[in-house]
């Protein structure tokens, strides 16, 4: 009998995670707070909450960001191993910590891990706040956090599309988030208008708040006051193209190649050649997954097994999104799309200029007429 697979726990909504963090801070300042996930806006909110408590308790604040060109590892090590000179304790913030703590990362530092663990196991006053896009729950630092009463806070990105079982775009997490923020700021914004603003802006919480500021004084239609700027990331656009959403993909491609995109390190990339390389790589990676999964399905595998064979990770919703995508085309069709994308990638990497028009042509070729399905951006 096949062993039953353990169902993955649902990742909490970041609002829930932030509320739990603030409730815990009322009980005292933990020795370690880890804010994990790709939603930088929520991570920043969490860091602010922790440092406000640390400041109120008189701790010295030391800030470090591994993505900053002026980042200094020796200075960070000094802050971790030393004590505060004139304060009761020291709060050390380390942003983009996975670049330093994850093996294989470009700036991986075993010395930092040793210094961090030594501090956490000592009786040093204060706290350490780690912000990281990807830091596995079984990482040594996360294990120690559980041992010493630290906090692990999930800051995943909000879903910009509705769940498959309720395809109303107004039900998307991102739209609901914007409606809530508008209500808090007393900005009149209906769910329909919020859905438009999200589609026009993309999954950028700070950008959405900027749009609310524009709308705060009222007057005029929302569509007239909020221009279409959503380019998203190359990975978002790859998803739109694979799902046959040509209108959304073409609009996003124009914005992407006009203004670039902000990477996970916070830096903006606008160079057309670099964008062509990143987008073509994202497309071929997604299509290899889809082709492998579709071929597994055709051979008799279950959708869940096909996702595993394709190497698709993520939570239950990512798995469901991938499985639904497989049903859009046959295995042969996915292979044809992959061949076309590989041709574009080969040209991009050989120095031939590849721009938005090349990808728009693919998007139009791959369009699914009348398809209402929307995939989640990654």
- Whether 79 and 104 map to the same domain: the answer is yes
Per-residue pLDDT at 4 exceeds 50: no
Per-residue pLDDT at 229 exceeds 70: no
Instruction: Give the pairing of strands 90-95 and 126-132.
Output: parallel
Q: Which of 128, 154, 180 is the endpoint of a domain?
A: 154
- Taking the C-alpha atoms of residue 52 and residue 35, their distance in angstroms, rounded to an integer, is 16
- Whether 58 and 124 map to the same domain: the answer is yes
When the pLDDT of each residue in the chain is averaged and rounded to a whole number, the result is: 84
- Whether 218 and 250 map to the same domain: the answer is no
pLDDT value of residue 86 = 57
pLDDT value of residue 377 = 37
Contact of 256 with 234, CB cutoff 8 Å: yes
**106 in any annotated domain:** yes
Q: What is the pLDDT of residues 326-335, one digit of tens each?
A: 989 999 999 9
With 0-12 CB in 10 A as exposed, 13-18 as middle and 19+ as buried, what is 246? buried
- Whether 185 and 142 map to the same domain: the answer is no
Which ranges of 13-126 does DSSP label H, i.e. alpha helix? 14-25, 40-56, 73-81, 98-101, 110-120
Q: What is the pLDDT of residues 113-155, one digit of tens each?
A: 999 988 988 878 899 999 998 888 889 898 888 888 999 999 9
Longest dimension (CA), the chain: 68
- Whether 105 and 187 map to the same domain: the answer is no
pLDDT value of residue 8 = 53
**300 in any annotated domain:** yes
pLDDT value of residue 295 = 94
Contact of 77 with 112, CB cutoff 8 Å: yes
- Looking at the structure of the chain, the number of domains it has is 3
Q: Which of 154, 178, 197 is the endpoint of a domain?
A: 154
- Whether 323 and 204 map to the same domain: the answer is no
pLDDT value of residue 245 = 87
Q: What is the pLDDT of residues 168-223, one digit of tens each?
A: 888 889 999 999 999 999 999 999 899 888 877 778 898 899 889 989 877 778 87
Domain carrying residue 313: 234-365
**370 in any annotated domain:** no
- Whether 88 and 146 map to the same domain: the answer is yes
- Whether 278 and 347 map to the same domain: the answer is yes
As beta bridge partners, residue 92 has 62, 128
- Whether 27 and 107 map to the same domain: the answer is yes
- Taking the C-alpha atoms of residue 129 and residue 135, their distance in angstroms, rounded to an integer, is 13
- Whether 213 and 267 map to the same domain: the answer is no
**377 in any annotated domain:** no
- Taking the C-alpha atoms of residue 160 and residue 168, their distance in angstroms, rounded to an integer, is 12
- Whether 141 and 220 map to the same domain: the answer is no
**372 in any annotated domain:** no
Contact of 237 with 251, CB cutoff 8 Å: no
- Whether 139 and 61 map to the same domain: the answer is yes
Q: What is the pLDDT of residues 309-321, one digit of tens each?
A: 888 866 677 778 8
Quick one: average pLDDT of 238-248?
Answer: 88
**24 in any annotated domain:** yes
The enclosing domain of 259 has a CATH number of: 1.20.272.10
pLDDT value of residue 230 = 54
- Give SS3 for 156: coil
Quick one: average pLDDT of 242-259?
Answer: 81
Q: Which of 47-56, 70-79, 97-106 has the lowest mean pLDDT?
A: 97-106
* Nearest-10 Cα torsion for 330, 8, 204, 169: 60
């Amino acid at each position: 009998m096949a062993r039953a697979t353990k169902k993955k726990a649902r990742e909490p909504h970041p609002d829930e995670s932030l509320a739990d963090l603030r409730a815990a801070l009322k009980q005292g300042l933990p020795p370690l707070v880890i804010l994990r996930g790709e939603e930088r806006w929520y991570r920043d909110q969490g860091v602010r909450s922790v440092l406000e408590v640390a400041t109120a308790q008189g701790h010295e604040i030391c800030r470090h960001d591994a993505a900053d060109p002026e980042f200094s590892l020796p200075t960070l090590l000094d802050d971790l191993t030393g004590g505060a000179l004139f304060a009761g304790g020291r709060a050390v913030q380390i942003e983009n910590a996975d670049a330093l703590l994850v093996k294989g990362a470009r700036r991986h530092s075993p010395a930092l891990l040793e210094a961090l663990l030594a501090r956490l196991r000592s009786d040093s006053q204060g706290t350490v706040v780690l912000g990281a896009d990807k830091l596995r729950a079984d990482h040594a630092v996360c294990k120690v956090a559980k041992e010493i009463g630290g906090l692990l806070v999930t800051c995943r990105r909000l879903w910009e599309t509705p769940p498959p079982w309720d395809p109303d775009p107004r039900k998307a997490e991102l739209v609901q988030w914007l409606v809530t923020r508008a209500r808090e700021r007393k900005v009149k914004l209906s769910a329909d208008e919020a859905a438009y603003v999200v589609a026009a802006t993309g999954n950028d919480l700070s950008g959405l708040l900027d749009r609310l500021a524009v709308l705060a004084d009222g007057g005029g239609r929302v569509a007239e006051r909020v221009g279409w700027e959503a380019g998203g990331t190359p990975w978002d656009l790859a998803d739109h193209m694979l799902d046959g959403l040509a209108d959304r993909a073409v609009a996003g491609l124009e914005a992407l190649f006009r203004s670039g995109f902000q990477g996970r390190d916070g830096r903006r990339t606008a160079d057309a050649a670099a964008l062509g390389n990143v987008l073509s790589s994202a497309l071929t990676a997604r299509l290899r997954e889809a082709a492998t999964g579709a071929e597994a399905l055709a051979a008799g595998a279950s959708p869940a097994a096909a996702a595993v064979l394709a190497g698709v990770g993520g939570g239950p919703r990512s798995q469901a999104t991938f499985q639904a995508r497989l049903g859009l085309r046959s295995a042969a069709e996915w292979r044809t799309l992959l061949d076309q994308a590989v041709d574009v990638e080969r040209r991009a990497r050989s120095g031939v200029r590849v721009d938005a028009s090349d990808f728009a042509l693919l998007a139009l070729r791959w369009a699914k007429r009348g398809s209402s399905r929307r995939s989640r951006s990654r």
